[in-house]
Chain A
Amino acid sequence: MSVPRVAAVVAIVAAIGAAIWFVRKPADEPTLVRQRLDSFADLINKSTVDGAGMAARAAELSAYLTEDVEVEFGVGSPPIRGRETIVGMADRLQPRTAAFRLRFEDVMVALKPTGDAASVHLTAEIIRRSITTGEESLDAREFSLEMRRVGGDWKIARVTAVQTLKQAP
């Protein structure tokens, strides 16, 4: 085999090896956080598609939240505290009001030096579907999240709505 041919074979083998490594390498923590959030959105979306609402998935929803989770929607809305409260609220959502899809965009993850907590900044897109006309409308909101790794899983510990356009002086 000539030298150029050997070099070509080595290059191809190296490229295949690199591709396999890239595909199979263990995900880093920021990637795991993103995957966890995508999975959370999938869970919410599944509940809106199968007509069962969140009631059937309350236990699954709990797995994504820390026990002391806090949600702050901003001015005029009192904070919601505790996993049980949030799951209870989701439980009361009627399937017919749940005609929406949730999607996270521009998810930026900053891991804390301890490695077991992360700050996340993202845009949540909610695509609502009108029950009567079937027409879709999109609403987007910016959120800041604190996530903690509990028992090997990343969980949402705090959600704060970010006012992109500020009204209060």
Chain B
Amino acid sequence: MLVLATISFVTFKWVLIPIRTQGSSMLPTYGPGELKLVNRLAYQSQLPARGDVVAIQMAGPHVLYVKRVIGLPGERVSVSQGLVQINGQALQEPYVRNRKPWDVPEVTLGTGEYFVIGDNRGMAAGEHDFGRVELDRILGKVVF
């Protein structure tokens, strides 16, 4: 029993972190109030990939952004009329249902920089937090 409790404690404290989603920026993939797990070891041996949903820490690990990686280090990212462009090519995003005509000027991502955005593009761009983030802010990959 003690071993099981210890394993559970270690797992949910340092490996699979339980989180509860808030807000609507990841709709329709994740809605508010859903319980998810963040795999903190996901990027120990590999780097985040395009399409991964990641947890990004603010001042610490207790309040996190949940966003999707769309741009990788060194790439040029822009949004034109709601369509994401990577190095000038439109990105296929089957997880996006509604799009408002967002326009985001092109940025070139630096070393260790990723561009993250929520799946809900039906909301106004001004109400949606998205942008560039350093790798060391990415706590892990959202799974389950």
Chain B residue numbers with a CB within 8 Å of A131 are: none
* Residue in B60, B107, B130, B137 whose Cβ sees the most chain A Cβ within 10 Å: B60
Q: Among A25-33, A41-49, A81-89, A137-145, which stretch is in contact with chain B?
A: A137-145
B132 within 8 A of A: yes
A142 to B64, CA, bound (A): 11
A133 within 8 A of B: no
Count the B residues whose beta carbon is within 8 Å of the partner chain — how many? 22
Q: How close is B5's CB to chain A, nearest CB, in angstroms? A: 23
Chain A residue numbers with a CB within 8 Å of B107 are: 167, 169
B70 within 8 A of A: no
Chain B residue numbers with a CB within 8 Å of A140 are: 58, 63
Contact count A vs B, C-beta below 8 Å: 60
A30 to B22, CA, bound (A): 30
B23 within 8 A of A: yes
Q: How close is A47's CB to chain B, nearest CB, in angstroms? A: 23
Main secondary structure on chain A at its contact with chain B? strand
- Establish whether residues A142 and B133, one from each chain, have CB atoms under 8 Å apart when the complex forms: no
A108 within 8 A of B: yes
A166 to B56, CA, bound (A): 13
- Establish whether residues A105 and B59, one from each chain, have CB atoms under 8 Å apart when the complex forms: yes
Chain B residue numbers with a CB within 8 Å of A167 are: 104, 107, 130-132
Q: How close is A119's CB to chain B, nearest CB, in angstroms? A: 12
Chain A residue numbers with a CB within 8 Å of B61 are: 106
Other-chain residue from B58, B67, B130, B132 in contact with A142 (beta carbon distance below 8 A): B58
- Establish whether residues B58 and A106, one from each chain, have CB atoms under 8 Å apart when the complex forms: yes
- Establish whether residues B22 and A106, one from each chain, have CB atoms under 8 Å apart when the complex forms: no
B116 within 8 A of A: yes
B94 within 8 A of A: no
- Establish whether residues B23 and A108, one from each chain, have CB atoms under 8 Å apart when the complex forms: no
- Establish whether residues B62 and A123, one from each chain, have CB atoms under 8 Å apart when the complex forms: yes
Other-chain residue from A142, A166, A169 in contact with B59 (beta carbon distance below 8 A): A142
Chain B residue numbers with a CB within 8 Å of A142 are: 58-59
Chain A residue numbers with a CB within 8 Å of B62 are: 105-106, 123
A164 within 8 A of B: yes
A131 to B130, CA, bound (A): 28
Interface 0/1 of A66-90, CB less than 8 Å to B: 0000000000000000000000000
Q: How close is A73's CB to chain B, nearest CB, in angstroms? A: 14
- Establish whether residues B22 and A138, one from each chain, have CB atoms under 8 Å apart when the complex forms: yes
Chain B residue numbers with a CB within 8 Å of A138 are: 22-23
- Establish whether residues B59 and A121, one from each chain, have CB atoms under 8 Å apart when the complex forms: yes
- Establish whether residues A137 and B22, one from each chain, have CB atoms under 8 Å apart when the complex forms: yes
- Establish whether residues B105 and A166, one from each chain, have CB atoms under 8 Å apart when the complex forms: no
Chain A residues within CB distance 8 Å of chain B: 105-108, 121-123, 125, 137-138, 140-143, 162-167, 169
- Sample 8 A-B pairs with CB under 8 A, ordered by A number: A122-B59, A123-B62, A140-B63, A142-B58, A142-B59, A165-B130, A167-B107, A169-B107
